């Protein structure tokens, strides 16, 4: 959050990206939000020094139904599952998206073996990937596991590494991007560095292979803001290939989706305390493009 005071409903909309500003304003009017211990109004202005308390209201009865959609389960036990998300699949329902999500697939394949900690429309969902980002996700099967995994993420104890194809020549082989991310002031469908209600964001990157006009990089998340890697790589002049929001408008390569893949996960199993590690190969559009660059 920026030092400049901003409206409370704007602040909430940034922290609940799957909710509309109208929805969070309703929470405030219904008495679910306090600022410094007092009931707030939607137009209340807040700063980082304010103590903001939110009691997210119970969601109305869900109409979600299981859907027999393809789902790759990499590994699972009684407490959690590791799945591999394909491009084009939204993780959970949102306004205007009522079917075809990863959650619908989870309800079919894992049935009632999903945590409810994330709400009725996000069963099992501990963290997310963008629609066209592929790769590994952790799914919690019970609430205790969900809370334990969420704590590991908050304490930055879960390794989340991505590989990406980006534009241009990197001047440094490795580095760290430390730039706050918030909602774009000019386009509410996008995130931006130092946007509205910006929150701290840290991405570490490593050059893996440099090609003529693009490069393969490895990115490690320290924080997990919406579109973080995509925004950060754009900010340092190396947008991800195929990215419709943050990429180059007239891109020479015709790609079906952004070449960003969640390749590597490592964490401590919440129940057994054993170290867990998973590595995923990128999908064909990514691997084929990479092979062509290597062959030049």
- Cα dihedral sign for 118, 123, 87, 137? positive
**Is residue 130 among the annotated active site residues?**
yes
Q: What angle do CA 33, 222, 200 make, to 5 degrees?
A: 45
Separation CA 263–CA 135 (nearest Å): 6
Please say whether the beta carbons of 238 and 215 come within 8 A.
yes
Distances (CA, A) of 214 to 12, 162, 166, 240, 282: 38, 16, 6, 9, 17
Please say whether the beta carbons of 264 and 281 come within 8 A.
no
Separation CA 105–CA 127 (nearest Å): 16
Q: Which of 77, 112, 130, 143 is catalytic?
A: 130
Q: Active-site positions?
A: 130
């Amino acid at each position: 959050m920026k030092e400049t005071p901003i409206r409370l409903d704007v602040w909430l909309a940034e922290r609940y990206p799957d909710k509309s500003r109208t929805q969070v304003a309703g929470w405030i009017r219904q008495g679910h939000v306090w600022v410094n211990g007092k009931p707030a109004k939607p137009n209340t202005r807040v700063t980082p020094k304010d103590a903001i308390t939110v009691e997210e209201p119970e969601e109305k009865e869900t109409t979600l139904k299981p859907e027999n959609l393809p789902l790759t389960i990499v590994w699972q036990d009684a407490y959690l599952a590791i799945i591999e998300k394909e491009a084009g699949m939204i993780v959970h329902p949102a306004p205007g998206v009522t079917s075809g999500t990863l959650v619908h697939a989870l309800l079919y394949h894992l049935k009632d073996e999903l945590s409810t900690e994330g709400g009725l429309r996000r069963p099992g969902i501990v963290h997310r990937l963008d629609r066209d980002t592929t790769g590994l996700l952790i799914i919690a099967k019970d609430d205790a596991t969900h809370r334990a995994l969420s704590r590991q993420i908050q304490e930055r104890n879960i390794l989340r590494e991505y590989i990406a194809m980006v534009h241009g020549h990197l001047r440094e082989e490795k580095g760290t991007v430390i730039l706050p991310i918030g909602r774009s002031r000019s386009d509410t469908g996008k995130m931006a560095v130092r946007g509205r209600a910006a929150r701290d964001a840290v991405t570490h990157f490593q050059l893996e292979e440099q090609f003529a006009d693009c490069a393969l990089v490895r990115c490690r998340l320290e924080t997990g803001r919406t579109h973080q890697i995509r925004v950060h790589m754009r900010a340092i002049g190396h947008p991800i290939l195929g990215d419709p929001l943050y990429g180059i408008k007239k891109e020479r390569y015709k790609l079906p989706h952004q070449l960003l893949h969640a390749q590597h996960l490592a964490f401590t199993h919440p129940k057994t305390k054993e170290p867990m590690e998973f590595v995923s190969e990128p999908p064909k559009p990514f691997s084929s493009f990479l092979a062509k660059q290597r062959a030049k």
